[in-house]
Amino acid sequence: MRRSVRQLNQYFPMINFPVLLRIIGLLLVIESVFLLFPLATCLYYGESDWEGFALTFGITAVTGSLMAFCIKPTSSSMGKREGFLLTALVWVFFSCFGMLPFMLMKAQPLSVSDAFFEAMSGFTTTGASIMTSISHLSHGAVLWRSLMQWIGGMGIILFTLAVIPMLNHSGGMQMFNAEVTGITHDKLRPRISQTAKSLWLIYITLTAILFVLLIVGPMGTFDALCYAFSIMSTGGFATSDEGLSLWQSDYIEAVTTFFMFIGGVSFTLIYRAVHRDFRAVWSNDVFRTYIWVILVFYLIFAGTIWYNGQVTSIKSVTLDPLFQIVSMISSTGFEVPEFGTWGTFVLSLVFVLMFFGACAGSTSGGAKLDRLIYMLKNCRNEIERCIHPNNILTVRVNGKVIPHETVSKVIAFLCLYVLIILAGGISLTAMGLPLIDSFFSAFTCISNTGLSAGVTGYGGTFAIVPDPGKWILAIIMLIGRLELFTVLLLFTPAFWRK
């Protein structure tokens, strides 16, 4: 192992590979600890899948320990290169080891391609699945799917910064900026590790509250725990084929709607609200836009349902459309049973919600409403310049003038976002997948929403995607979760040059 690390340093002397691999090793040890929970669950329910989780735990723990304690870096310094590379590699390593339990299942084990797709979908909180049914899964496997989403919801690197204090001085801010969604990032506390701990504390507390509220309803303890993980992370994995509709409970639907909404709010704003700085929350342009988008789309959805004569109860024009809107904008991906009958106009609006998502700094996917605001204000300025070319116009958000470089980066992001959807869709059509399925699959994966192409009425689940296509979609999920630049940067020659 040491010889391989030395060879890497010879080829790429500008990157400190020993410290990268050592940190990844420490994180694999932590992942092995998380694997103990589904292992214990299988033992509790007397399920044979405990053997697969036990073997995965051993492989992950041993590999992580060898990397963490046998590799001795001569320097612990980390720069921007190491920060970007570590951020991307950690998600890949976690998925590679996290997929092993699905390959070792006693009932219907998955292939390498299917298992990696499922694991990457979990950690990136996409919620896409190649499984046409999950009724055969053990309780341990169901818990592991939800737990993966919960780990990835707040971010693996953010968790790393919270538990490994040395990164506070060594590349911590670069990794924080590379993983946390958004355009700009504010530290809540003087040290980046303190910021990470504060955000994770809020995340854990909200998950615990949601868990208790679900137990108060008709859910059992196991289902409540799994749904608390998948809802708070806005991931969307279910515990049964029927999903939330299994309980036919307005209470569960209302609680889920509220916490999906919270999951779409920037955790920085939630931190402000916890510390009673409510003025900072309401004066935030993005948060207000988030509220207005939900309200406007709710009126449109409810009006469409009424116009089409699909009003069967008060709930069908109140809670159901609100649930569906919040589910889509937060990228959770849950559906109400009647959603497929609401028509293509509603479906087209759902695409808009999926594209932009909720607030930056949240657990939601999509391009984020922040970028929508920047783009619209910049477009308005450009239109005004056509009439008054000498006017000096600026983009202002939250009372601050946004630098032109930031606006340019937002425009580049949105262009790349669309180009990746096009490239992914074209690649899937080359593999024989139907046109609608191809582009919708790429779209739903980069937005981390996870709806299958079946929602369009043209195709089925992700099981119809060929194996090469599953790897492409898995990469697209990662690109979407890390917001493009962090991953795409690794494919540029300049990154690997001195």
Q: Encoding tokens for residue 222?
A: 């196991």
For 411, counting Cβ atoms within 10 Å of its Cβ (0-12 exposed, 13-18 middle, 19+ buried), the class is: middle
Phi, psi angle pair for 310, to nearest 5°: -105, 20
Average pLDDT over residues 393-405: 85
**Type of residue found at 235:** G
Instruction: Using CA atoms of 340, 288, 478, 434 in order, give the dihedral in degrees to the nearest 10.
Output: 30
pLDDT in tens, 213-256: 999 989 999 999 999 999 999 998 999 988 898 999 999 999 99
Using a pLDDT cut of 90, give the percent of the chain over it: 50
Rounded to an integer, what distance in angstroms lies between the CA atom of residue 363 and that of residue 152? 9
Nearest to 156 by CA among 186, 196, 117, 129: 196
Residue 9, CA distances (Å) to 5, 409, 463 in order: 6, 32, 40
Contacts of 419 (CB under 8 A, 6+ apart): none
Tokens of 174: 């670069």
The whole-number pLDDT of residue 369 equals 92
pLDDT of residue 458: 46
Mean local confidence (pLDDT), 48-66: 95
Q: Which two tokens stand for residue 497?
A: 């040059």
Q: What is the pLDDT of residues 338-377, one digit of tens each?
A: 887 888 899 899 999 999 989 988 888 889 999 999 999 9
Q: Which residues contact 224 (CB under 8 A, 6 or more apart)?
A: 211, 214, 215
Task: Extract long-range pairs of 408-416: CB within 8 Å, 24+ residues apart.
Answer: 409/183, 410/183, 410/371, 410/374, 410/375, 410/378, 411/375, 411/378, 413/367, 413/371, 413/483, 413/484, 413/485, 414/367, 414/371, 414/375, 416/484, 416/488
Which residues make beta-bridge pairs with 401? 396
pLDDT at residue 200 is higher than 90: no
pLDDT band at 42 (very low <50, low <70, confident <90, very high): very high
**418-456: pLDDT as tens digits:** 999 999 999 999 998 888 888 999 999 999 988 765 555
Task: Report the residue count for the chain.
Answer: 498
The arithmetic mean of pLDDT across residues 260-275, rounded, is 90
Give me the pLDDT at residue 165, please: 58
pLDDT of residue 483: 82
pLDDT tens digits for range 280-303 = 888 899 999 999 999 999 999 999
The two structure tokens encoding residue 392: 């000096």
* CA 496, 169, 175, 356 torsion-angle sign: negative
Taking only the tens place, the pLDDT of each residue in 140-194 is 999 999 999 999 888 776 766 666 655 555 555 555 555 555 555 554 554 666 7
Of 135-149, 319-333, 388-402, the one with minimum mean pLDDT is 388-402
Per-residue pLDDT at 178: 56
CB-CB neighbours of 185 under 10 Å: 17
